[in-house]
Chains A and B, each alone.
Chain A
Amino acid sequence: MKSPLAAFVCGLLFALGLGIAGMTRPEKIIGFLDVTGRWDPDLLWVMAAAISVTTLGYRWTLRRDRPLVEAVFHLPKLGSLDVRLIAGSALFGVGWGLGGFCPGPALTSLVNGLPTVWVFVLAMAVGMKSYQWMSRRGVPGTASRQDA
C-alpha cells in the first residue's frame, strides 16, 4: 500500500516547513495576532507562500483524472456558509490566540517533551471528543459534516 508512505512523506515535509518557518514557536503566532502591539508579520508571508504554491499545485493536480497513489480524489464540497462554520472558527481563533498553537505545530512540537505542548494536545483531543459526544447525542447544530 503506497498511500501510507505518501502520507508519511507529506507529514514529514509539513513538519519541517512549519519548524523552519518558525510556526512551531507560539511567540511567533502570538506576535502575528498582536496587530495593535508589536506586530510580527512573518506568519502572513508563510501563509501567502503556502497559499501560492498550493493554488498553483491544485490547478495542475486537479486537472488529472486521479491522484498518483489512490483511485479517486476525496475533496470536500464547496458549500455555503453557515452559523456552525463561523462559530467553530471563532472559538478556534480564541484558542489560537490564547495558546499560540494550532493543531499542526502542536503535534510537531510533541517530540520536544515540553509539558505545555502535551497539555495543549491532550486538551485538544478532549475538545474534539466532547464535540463528537455532543454530535452523537444530537445536540442542535453539531450534526456531522465533512470539510477540511
Chain B
Amino acid sequence: MLFALLNGRVLGVSGIVYGLLDRDPHESGWRPAFWGGLMSGGLLLLLVYPQAFGVSPSRSLMATAAAGLLVGFGSRLGNGCTSGHGVCGVSRLSPRSIAATLTFIATGMLTVLSINTWFGGSV
C-alpha cells in the first residue's frame, strides 16, 4: 500500500526479482533498492528475532530445488505471486488476481495433501 502511495506501483516480489534478472537501464534503481530493503529487514530479523527463520525438515534439497523452478516459472507465466496477486491484486478487486490466488492456494493444498497421502509427509 505504502509502495503505491510513494512510488505509484503495485508491489510484486516475483516481478521485482524478474526485473532484477533482466535490468532495464532506463529505470531508476527502485528494484535493487527494494531488494536491499528486504535484505536489511532480513538482517534485522536475524539480529533481534532469529526464530523468524527456519527450514522444513520434511522437505529435501531436491524437492526445494524443484519447488524453486516451479515458483519461478509459474510466477512469470501467471504474472504474479503471493504479494502481487494475493495481496495487491485482490485488494484492487482484480478478477485476474482473485482467480490466480484461488488457483495457487488450491494447487498448493492439493500438493501438500498428495505429499502427505503418498509420501508420508516428506519429500
CB contacts between A and B, total, < 8 Å: 436
Among B22, B46, B74, B85, contact of A112 (Cβ-Cβ < 8 Å): B46
Q: Which residues of A contact B5 (CB under 8 A)?
A: 57, 61, 64, 67-68
Contact call B46/A111, Cβ cutoff below 8 A: yes
Cα of A82 to Cα of B39 in the assembled complex, Å: 34
**Residues of A close to B8: CB separation below 8 A:** 66-67, 70, 72-75
**B83-109 vs A: 1/0 string, CB under 8 Å?**
111111111101111011101111111
The answer to whether A7 and B75 touch across the interface, beta carbons within 8 angstroms, is no
CB distance from A12 to the nearest CB of B (A): 4
Judge whether A84 and B13 touch: CB under 8 Å.
Answer: no
| A67-B7 contact in complex given A95-B66, A98-B59, A112-B42, C-beta closer than 8 Å | yes
- Partner of A74 from the list B9, B33, B44, B105 (CB cut-off 8 Å) is B9
> Cα distance A103–B70 when bound, in Å?
11
A26's closest neighbor in chain B, by CB?
B56
Complex Cα distance, B5 from A10, in Å, reads 11
A146–B79 touching, CB < 8 Å: yes
Residue of A nearest to B5 (CB): A61
Question: Within 8 Å CB of A67, what residues of B?
Answer: 4-8
Task: Find out whether the CB atom of A145 lies under 8 angstroms from the CB atom of B79.
Answer: yes
Q: How many residues of B contact A (CB 8 A)?
A: 99
- The binding surface of chain A is classed by DSSP as helix
Contact residues in A for B10 (Cβ distance below 8 Å): 74-76, 148
A111 to B: closest C-beta gap in Å: 4
- Nearest A-chain residue to B44, judged by Cβ: A16
Q: Within the assembled complex, what's the spacing in Å between the Cα atoms of A50 and B91? A: 9
Taking CB atoms, residues of chain B closer than 8 Å to A78 are: 92, 94-96
| Chain B residue contacts of A25, Cβ below 8 A | 52-54
- Enumerate A61-116 residues with CB–CB distance to B below 8 Å: 61-62, 64, 66-70, 72-76, 78-81, 84-104, 106-112, 114-116
Residues of B within 8 A of A (CB): 1-15, 17-18, 21-22, 28-46, 49-50, 52-56, 58-59, 61, 63-92, 94-97, 99-101, 103-113, 115-116, 123
Having A24-B42, A25-B52, one finds 8 other A-B pairs with CB under 8 Å, namely A3-B30, A15-B37, A35-B113, A73-B8, A107-B13, A123-B64, A128-B18, A131-B76
Pull 5 A–B residue pairs with CB atoms less than 8 Å apart, ordered by A: A12-B38, A19-B52, A94-B74, A108-B45, A124-B75
